[in-house]
Structure 1
Amino acid sequence: MSRESEQTQGAAEASEDALESWEDGPAFGVSEDKDPVCEVHVEEWIEGIDITSTADVPIPEKLVDQVIGQEAASIVVRKAAEQRRHVIMVGEPGTGKSMLARSMTEFLPREQLEDILVFRNHEDENEPKVRTVPAGRGSRIISERKAQIRLQRERTNRTLLFVALVIGAALLLATISSGEILTFIFGSFILVFGYFFLRTRLTAGDDANIPKLLIKHEREDEPPFVDATGTLAGALLGDVRHDPFQSGADLATPAHERVEPGAVHRANKGVLYIDEIRMLRMEEQQALLVAMQEKELSISGRSERSSGALTKSEPVPTDFILIAAGNLDSVQNMHPALRSRIRGYGYEVYVNTDMRDTERNRRRLIRFIAQEVRNEFKKGSGKPIPHFDRSSISLILKEAQRRSGRRGKLSLRLRELGGLVRIAGDLAAEEGAELTRAEHVTRARMIAKPLEQQVADRHLERQAEYAMLVNRGNRVGRVNGLAVLGADSGLSDYSGVVL
């Protein structure tokens, strides 16, 4: 009897339509989308959705679960984070590459974070020493060192003050016995000058012995995510600041205090993200390769005309996961050894630009709209935008269909689609509407026209002013001009205009 009940329950669970649920389950399930294409028009389909606005849509807590349409890339991201592999992501702008890279930090362990300290090297001033300690320990070490120096200074000052008082008393007695006031005045001047001179000399080098906290973390911090897109060599690989007073022993700043970490050092035990990696020069890519291979890289001055060029620290840890993003040109212009390193010890991923127009993916796009609204609520400035009702959601879905340029597909250029969502929300917020409606999305489409469509509209407007006069014969039709924009031309994705 129990077997029959279990079979009946299993059949009932199997008969439930998984598409009726907003919960997608684990983000790293099957990467291939096998759901059938939804043939129902968006206006009719949206009426069967059990929501009144995007406020009713649940949003996943994990960032990786919020990525839409990149299931295969999500699998690679998780595996790369677990095994600490490097990744090359190739795809068009606005398809979620940086969001996938940020999600990697959710799978990295926090207990491996480290603080990095730089100490003065008394044997060689131009080769500062580097030490690593567990996260949160670096600040305590510096506080303890400063407290020790403060106590030492107080003891030194008390000793000097006691000696000065004894000498002053002896000088006063000698003046009283001899009656020479000038001797007392001159001796007092020498005593005060000697006191301040000795106090300065005895405590001058104390601050130079305090280590510099190069990389600071707290024990509860998330693993670092460092976006090094467009950075120069010093910001990427570290640098040593110039010291304009390097000629004076008392005025010069110690070398270890002038050491500055680069992005490769700040990303230690975390993720280093570089978009358009082809913009890096070959020598910078070579240094990046060394940091990846050796998991450490010394910091030296990057300018030959700076005093920092003489300084080179001990190796600083650079145990990061590299996420290199860009288009196909970026891959072709990469350093061959750098790409070989990533291919041999990591993954190469081509992200999707569209996804199948299924019921599940339509729900995911609705969730994307809800995510954009929530992000606007979280920002610290400006008015939050209201949620979207069913009519406005249907227009956004139709816009995703149009921008894909292919039948049965939805566009994954979500950055541009998110811009349309925000403009429509701004219009609704300006009116004080409780929900963003279809008319707001329609007006937003007119405002958010890309340059390509604005040029096309201007061309059509001018062509409408042109007229051909026919004063004899028959007039069947007229063509002023014809230009068809292909689905992959890059213009139809935005304008969809046939001239």
Structure 2
Amino acid sequence: MYVDMRKEFLEDINTTEDVLIPEDPLDRVIGHDDVMPIIKIAAKQRRNLLLVGPPGIGKSLIAQAISSYLPKPNEEIAVLHNPERPERPIVEVRKRKEIEKESKEFGGSSGKLIDPKEVPANVAEKLGFRCVHCKEYSSAYEKICPKCGRDKFAELNSQKRHVRELLGMFDSNKRSSTSFPKKRVTTTKIINGREEVVIYERVGGNKIRILRPRSFERRGRFSREKRNVIVPLNRKTFVQATGASETELLGDVRHDPYGGHPELGSHPYERVVPGAIHEAHEGVLFIDEIAHIARLQRFILTAMQEKKFPIVGRNPQSAGSSVRVEDVPCDFIFIAACNVSDLQYILPPLRSRIQGEGYEILLDVTMPDTEENRAKMAQFVAQEIVKDGKIPHATRGAVEELIEESKRRARVIDDTDNALSLRLRDLSGIIRMAGDLAVMEGSKYIRRKHVRAAIKRAIPIEDQIIKRYGSYEAAMQKDLTTRYGNKSSFKNNNEESVNRSYM
């Protein structure tokens, strides 16, 4: 029996195996109770967000949870060939209903698959299934008959060449197009007392599909379109573009070494690559540390305003530099995240756009030390163990030990008494280290001693340096690399000559 920690207390469980993990992703977010109603409104009303706070307090988790509230995407974006101006491909946006209807029609035109022995003998021979010499059936991929050892298609090709020569058709290019086996054979058949045209199509090396002319025309209409689907209908509604480059964020047109030559190269529409802003259409575009892509913020602002953004070749020395696709849709919910110190580096118009169509939220770094919040910490431990998948569950004593460490960190780092730290990413590292220790020991559960050992070992590198050298400056002086080397540290060892050129 699972225990819902949103309604029960820590004393109600023996191990984290007993904890019920909520199905709603937003209910998995620990803390931030005062802002969760606003976040849920933003998810329902498609509002933009700016989440502000130190690393590891749940900004990414909140952004992912919001995307789970969105409906399935309703539009597919494709780029079509423009025969008049190939370097200006055309954008096509199709709705889900249209695509499903077309798929149904195409499915109805797929025809019936039958065995080669069920079709007329001359059709089976032309499609490559029946040997004209011994009349034995075999795979169409086998040129030599496995029974008689003769070329199945030599006689048919010879007859066809003879007819073409009699008619004066000596073009070698045309001659090659008539060789056997054929992909498709058209003939007539009596159906319900009427003579109708029937198309037999080879499928692989062992099957034949029967098509009627009408269904074949529908298939031809679908296949003749030169189109490149850049944003498919079935896609994720969460796109993370943290630290993205210009091409990753805005899209690009790939280079063609043949310069887009119609015979040797590829068409421009085939080389169009969407950016993250396009892939996030009808979904969430999340960028953490938004200040680190300062020069790209103006492009995000334009995309948010226009809800469409062109895709162009961004390398001036590439064959794609002359290609431009206008009005590619990019209607997304924008969620940005940053630290307090980075607010000054966010473009003021971008912040204004977020404020005008959403909310700016300062997230908490601690939560009160109450029985309810201690139960939430147990839920957090259970979630991290399940997410990791490689460590055992924790006992109640192990959870209590982690809660004490959370309380200590709230006091030391955030100067808050009677509180629990929400810097949960650091605490998750302790959970995993304790779990690894339990695995190495062969323990069924993570116990209190494992958490204590993990807390003792999970010391930041700065604290390790100070513990070993006394100060960071002393560590710098004793660093033996040429970058941080300090000759004064060796004044008592002048008689020793050490060659460090290799470093």
Question: Does the pair score TM above 0.5?
Answer: yes
CA 1:248/1:126 → structure 2, altered by over 3 Å: closer, same or farther?
closer
Q: Structure 2: how far apart are the matches of 1:23 and 1:96?
A: 18
Q: CA deviation at 1:247?
A: 5.9
Partner of 1:453: 463
Which of 407, 410, 429 is matched with 1:401 structurally?
407
Q: Does 1:392 pair with 2:398?
A: yes
Partner of 1:213: 229
After the TM superposition, which of the residue ranges 126-135 and 236-245 deviates more from structure 2?
Answer: 126-135
Partner of 2:191: none
Partner of 1:22: 5
SS in 2 for 1:246: coil
CA 1:296/1:398 → structure 2, altered by over 3 Å: closer, same or farther?
same
Contact (CA 8 Å) 2:160, 2:178: kept in 1 or not? Answer: no
How many residue pairs align between the two structures? 383
Partner of 2:140: none
Which of 85, 93, 100 is matched with 2:62 structurally?
100
Q: CA deviation at 1:287?
A: 1.4
Partner of 1:352: 364
1:366-417 per-position Cα deviation (integer Å, ceiling 9, x unaligned): 111111111123xxxxxx2111112211210110011112211111000000
SS in 2 for 1:71: coil
Q: Structure 2: how far apart are the matches of 1:164 and 1:143?
A: 42
Q: Does 1:364 pair with 2:358?
A: no
List aligned pairs for 1:214-253, cutoff 5 A.
214-218=230-234, 224-246=237-259, 248-253=261-266
Which of 82, 105, 112 is matched with 1:121 structurally?
82
Q: Structure 2: how far apart are the matches of 1:458 and 1:88?
A: 41
Q: Structure 1: how far apart are the matches of 2:319 and 2:289?
A: 32
Q: CA RMSD in A?
A: 3.5
Q: Does 1:57 pair with 2:50?
A: no
Q: Does 1:91 pair with 2:53?
A: yes
Q: Structure 1: how far apart are the matches of 2:290 and 2:102?
A: 38
Partner of 1:265: 278
Q: Structure 2: how far apart are the matches of 1:167 and 1:375?
A: 67
Contact (CA 8 Å) 1:237, 1:264: kept in 2 or not? Answer: yes
Partner of 2:301: 289
Partner of 1:326: 338
SS in 2 for 1:126: coil
Q: CA deviation at 1:453?
A: 2.2
Q: CA deviation at 1:252?
A: 2.4
CA 1:303/1:208 → structure 2, altered by over 3 Å: closer, same or farther?
farther
Q: CA deviation at 1:275?
A: 0.6
Q: Structure 2: how far apart are the matches of 1:429 and 1:250?
A: 61
Structure 1: tracts of 5 or more residues without a match: 1-19, 26-44, 149-156, 175-186, 200-205, 378-383, 463-499
Q: Structure 1: how far apart are the matches of 2:327 and 2:104?
A: 25
Contact (CA 8 Å) 1:87, 1:322: kept in 2 or not? Answer: yes
Q: Structure 1: how far apart are the matches of 2:108 and 2:78?
A: 17
1:301-349 per-position Cα deviation (integer Å, ceiling 9, x unaligned): 1111111111111311101000010112332111221111111111001
Contact (CA 8 Å) 1:58, 1:367: kept in 2 or not? Answer: yes
Contact (CA 8 Å) 2:230, 2:273: kept in 1 or not? Answer: yes
List aligned pairs for 1:104-253, cutoff 5 A.
104-110=66-72, 112-135=73-96, 168-169=162-163, 171=165, 190-196=170-176, 209-218=225-234, 224-246=237-259, 248-253=261-266
Q: CA deviation at 1:457?
A: 2.2
Contact (CA 8 Å) 1:243, 1:253: kept in 2 or not? Answer: yes
Contact (CA 8 Å) 2:54, 2:340: kept in 1 or not? Answer: no
Structure 2: tracts of 5 or more residues without a match: 110-125, 128-155, 180-221, 473-503
Query: How does the TM-score come out when normalised to structure 2?
Result: 0.69
| Identical columns (%) | 37
Partner of 1:40: none
Q: Structure 2: how far apart are the matches of 1:341 and 1:198?
A: 63
CA 1:424/1:118 → structure 2, altered by over 3 Å: closer, same or farther?
same
User: Residue type matched to 1:348 in 2?
Assistant: E
Q: Structure 1: how far apart are the matches of 2:469 and 2:108?
A: 74
Q: Does 1:426 pair with 2:406?
A: no
Which of 419, 422, 427 is matched with 1:417 structurally?
427
Contact (CA 8 Å) 1:54, 1:389: kept in 2 or not? Answer: yes
User: Residue type matched to 1:267 in 2?
Assistant: A
Higher strand share: 2
Q: CA deviation at 1:21?
A: 7.1
CA 1:212/1:164 → structure 2, altered by over 3 Å: closer, same or farther?
farther
User: Residue type matched to 1:73 in 2?
Assistant: V
Contact (CA 8 Å) 2:260, 2:267: kept in 1 or not? Answer: no
SS in 2 for 1:457: helix
Partner of 1:255: 268
User: Residue type matched to 1:428 in 2?
Assistant: A
Contact (CA 8 Å) 1:108, 1:270: kept in 2 or not? Answer: yes
Q: Structure 2: how far apart are the matches of 1:132 and 1:165?
A: 50
SS in 2 for 1:322: strand
User: Residue type matched to 2:460 in 1?
Assistant: P
Q: Structure 1: how far apart are the matches of 2:312 and 2:107?
A: 27
Contact (CA 8 Å) 1:127, 1:313: kept in 2 or not? Answer: yes
